[in-house]
């Protein structure tokens, strides 16, 4: 194989001129274009999901406050009330930013970070319920506070993982199609 053809079609795992290791499945840059094609739909899907979940919590603040209290993370009543009052509207706000295409990467990063935190808290609560009831982990069903009522923990964790994958997708995407303002600073 000549040096010229090696530069055009580098071996998987070989280092390029920029020092980066090349992926085995797709040539450099091609994976990014595949990610970018679906980004507007992913953005809208994630935005609608968080608007729906946020409004479900915001329209019934007393029930959401009771659910947040069950996690026993915050003991101070003012902080508990502030969290229960602001979190649903923050989710709605981030969802609206995604739909309109304003600060897409930042919004997706914030939602992804929240999803990681939500999953950690969900697992902690599910393990506590499992210890008390001696049930298999996936048989545990409770109202997690997401706005969907009682759900099985494994189903909710899978749903949150899918939402997290979509958020990471948007953080990696460079597509500005159908965006009003993709980045706040650049």
Mean pLDDT for back-to-back runs of 10 residues, the chain (186 residues): 48 52 50 66 91 92 89 87 92 93 88 94 92 90 82 92 92 71 58
Question: Which residues neighbour 148 within 8 Å (Cβ) at sequence distance 6 or greater?
Answer: 53, 56, 156
Whether 106 contacts 170, CB under 8 Å:
no
Q: Is the pTM of this model over 0.85?
A: no
pLDDT of residue 28: 47
Q: Where are the domains of the chain?
A: 38-172
Find, among 181, 138, 170, 180, the residue nearest to 39 by Cα. Answer: 170
The β-bridge partners of 15 are 21
């Amino acid at each position: 194989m000549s040096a010229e053809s090696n530069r055009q079609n580098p071996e998987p795992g070989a280092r390029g001129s920029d020092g980066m290791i090349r992926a085995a499945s797709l040539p450099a840059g091609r994976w990014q274009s595949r990610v970018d094609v679906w980004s507007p739909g992913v953005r809208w899907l994630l935005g609608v999901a968080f608007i729906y979940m946020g409004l479900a919590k915001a329209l019934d603040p007393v029930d959401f406050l009771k659910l947040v209290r069950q996690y026993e993370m915050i003991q101070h009543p003012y902080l508990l009330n502030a969290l229960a009052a602001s979190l649903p509207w923050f989710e709605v706000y981030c969802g609206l930013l995604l739909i309109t295409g304003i600060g897409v990467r930042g919004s997706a990063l914030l939602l992804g970070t929240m999803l990681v935190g939500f999953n950690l808290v969900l697992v902690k609560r599910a393990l506590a319920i499992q210890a008390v009831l001696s049930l298999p982990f996936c048989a545990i069903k409770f109202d997690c506070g997401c706005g969907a009522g009682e759900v099985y923990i494994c189903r909710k964790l899978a749903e949150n993982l899918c939402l997290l994958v979509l958020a990471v997708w948007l953080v990696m995407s460079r597509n500005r199609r159908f965006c009003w303002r993709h980045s706040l600073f650049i």
